[in-house]
Structure 1
Amino acid sequence: MNSHHLKCLSAVAAGLLLAVTANAQQTPAASQTPPRRGNPADTEEWEPVPKVVLPGKTFSDAPSDALILFDGKNMDQWVTTKDKSAVKWDIAKGVLTVNKATGGGNIETKQAFKNYQLHLEWKVPANVTGEGQGRGNSGLFLASTGGGDAGYEVQIMDSYNNENKTYVNGMAGAVYKQFIPLANPARKNGEWNVYDVAWTAPTFNEDGTLKTAAHVTVFFNGVLVQNNVELLGETLYIGKPVYKKYDTAPIKLQAHGDKSEPVSFRNIWIRGL
């Protein structure tokens, strides 16, 4: 075979190789598409049909299935934590404020709750004084498991622009002494802040040992600051957190003792989950 024939055969072989390669590059894309088998109805669920809940006109308004805890008119849903007497806080122009003269003591809901969605609006006064934990301090206790400050607290206080220097697991939006907020969206003093909370209560075995831990998600002025965090136990001022067995519990608001410039609340509602 002469050199001319060899060159022709080489050219043919090269062309075949390119064609096979191109075809091989196209074939996997088609072969990677799995054949459609079965019935799509196999993965469709038709029951239970979710109940219809009418939303509020705004995101702050209570939906149709919510229980109104404070509507600006009265304290029918609340008692003083210490002795279950009538609430001694002040109501004026639809706003609930810790009593400036006496503090009035912590208050809690008459009803006990387990898992829920909660909406609460709060405000530190524009002329707040003091510093650190003594500046516009209150607290939202997601489960009040006893008198005083027993339970699970999300902190309320002056944290605007990080100007009030204090420990960061004790600033607004913190799970007190456990979890620092993911961000600080606090509004200026004198302006209203909003908490929207999803609370999953802890569960316990018959002997009192922990079965499942508590979890909480907190949106602070529409910003996610606690993302389904697993609590370490009750929030304590001193010492390590521990769990104590309970089933359901009231929701508590704290009168911290900052009598000169007390914190105010409005528009509080809850949905059981």
Structure 2
Amino acid sequence: MKRIFALTLSVALMNVGLMADDVDLKDTYLDPATAPIDYQIQGEYEGTAGPDSLKFGVQVIALGDGKFRLISYGDGLPSADVSHKNIKTEIDGELQGDAAVFANDLFNVEISNGELKVSTAADGILRGTLSKVQRESDTLGAKPPADALVLFDGSSAGAFENGKLQGDLLAANCFSKEKFGDHTLHLEFRTPFKPKARGQARGNSGVYMQSRYELQVLDSFGLAGKNNECGGIYQIAEPNVNMCFPPLQWQTYDIDFTAARYDDQGNKTKNARATIRHNGVVIHDDLELPHGTPGRHPEGPEPDALYLQGHGNPVVYRNIWVVKK
């Protein structure tokens, strides 16, 4: 049952929005209370199914106008243990009343009131129930150590050039006034809910280490985990696992960065490196950064700023602190 469910729940449907669409702001939501019912159905589900009560994880992406995509994973949700890059399966569904329904030749799935129920198509027998879960990074709310430089604690955007507050949150599109060489960085970010947007139009921003190397910020919940999606180093490396949570949930990046080295003549002798945790899970382990990424400052021997990319999306940040090495 596990293999059938995980591998044949649907015909694989690729390309969940690899092209950016222009979407009116009326379809952008910053508060779950104002979002349509689609937001309540979207999210992560875990539980058991089949006669052997085998564990499954499911991610449900809202696509707007009552349309959804369901991604099923054997052995549970993406995590530090399993990336699921090669074993996920997908199926489309839609709202019928207050429930989202999905079906193929083998299974029927219905989601309502925080429960996902799986039954066999042939006889309608219930095979399992999964419950909605909301995972949280184990570094969420991490306190700065005594030797940390606090860049943003919600009280002022004064540590950033072009820094702008949205309530007690920091809007994207700003540079830190302080410049950094080797350092560790903690920050928390939240993408908007844009169900009708696709790809790079869906909550786009980026964390530029030294304003040179972009760690992508994007609503990539349930996607493949490419280098231009959340957790990717743009044009350099895909994350080991796509740990992106659903939009409007707070997420964390914890970065251990070692700057590139240069000789006295300004020639690079060693590439920059980074170990990065996304929502507490290592997605890049001592990754070599052979070149800078487009859009900001060229590589060089001098320290440089943290840049939080503005890309026309209402992405916000909080709890930003750095420890210089």
TM-score (norm 1): 0.64
Task: Give 1:153's aligned residue.
Answer: 214
Is structure 2 residue 183 aligned with structure 1 residue 116? yes
Could you list the runs of 4 or more consecutive aligned residues of structure 1 that deviate by over 6 angstroms after TM superposition? none
Match among 198, 203, 212 for residue 136 of structure 1? 203
Deviation at 1:127, TM superposition (A): 4.2
Q: Per the alignment, do residues 236 and 205 of structure 1 end up closer, same or farther by CA in structure 2, a change over 3 Å counting?
A: same
Could you tell me which amino acid in structure 1 is paired with residue 149 of structure 2?
L
Greater share of residues in strand = 2
Match among 276, 283, 289 for residue 218 of structure 1? 276
Match among 57, 61, 65 for residue 143 of structure 2? 61
- Identical positions, percent: 32
Match among 169, 185, 199 for residue 95 of structure 1? 169
Task: Give 1:265's aligned residue.
Answer: 317
Q: Is the 8 A contact 2:171 2:315 kept in 1?
A: yes
Q: Is the 8 A contact 1:117 1:272 kept in 2?
A: yes
Q: Is the 8 A contact 2:140 2:251 kept in 1?
A: no
SS in 1 for 2:305: coil
TM-score (norm 2): 0.54
Task: Give 2:155's aligned residue.
Answer: 73
Q: Per the alignment, do residues 58 and 235 of structure 1 end up closer, same or farther by CA in structure 2, a change over 3 Å counting?
A: closer
Where in structure 2 are the equivalents of 1:173-212 lying within 5 Å?
A: 173-212=231-270
Deviation at 1:126, TM superposition (A): 2.9
Deviation at 1:234, TM superposition (A): 0.3
Deviation at 1:208, TM superposition (A): 2.3
Count of residue correspondences: 186
Could you tell me which amino acid in structure 1 is paired with residue 229 of structure 2?
M
Q: Per the alignment, do residues 246 and 128 of structure 1 end up closer, same or farther by CA in structure 2, a change over 3 Å counting?
A: farther
Task: Give 1:171's aligned residue.
Answer: 229
Q: Per the alignment, do residues 265 and 58 of structure 1 end up closer, same or farther by CA in structure 2, a change over 3 Å counting?
A: closer
Greater share of residues in helix = 1
5+ residue gaps, structure 1, are: 1-56, 81-86, 99-105, 145-150
Task: Give 1:23's aligned residue.
Answer: none
CA distance in 2, matches of 1:79, 1:198: 23
Task: Give 1:26's aligned residue.
Answer: none
SS in 2 for 1:133: helix
Q: Return 203-212 or 122-131, whichever deviates more.
A: 122-131
Task: Give 2:79's aligned residue.
Answer: none
Larger radius of gyration: 1
SS in 2 for 1:168: coil
5+ residue gaps, structure 2, are: 1-138
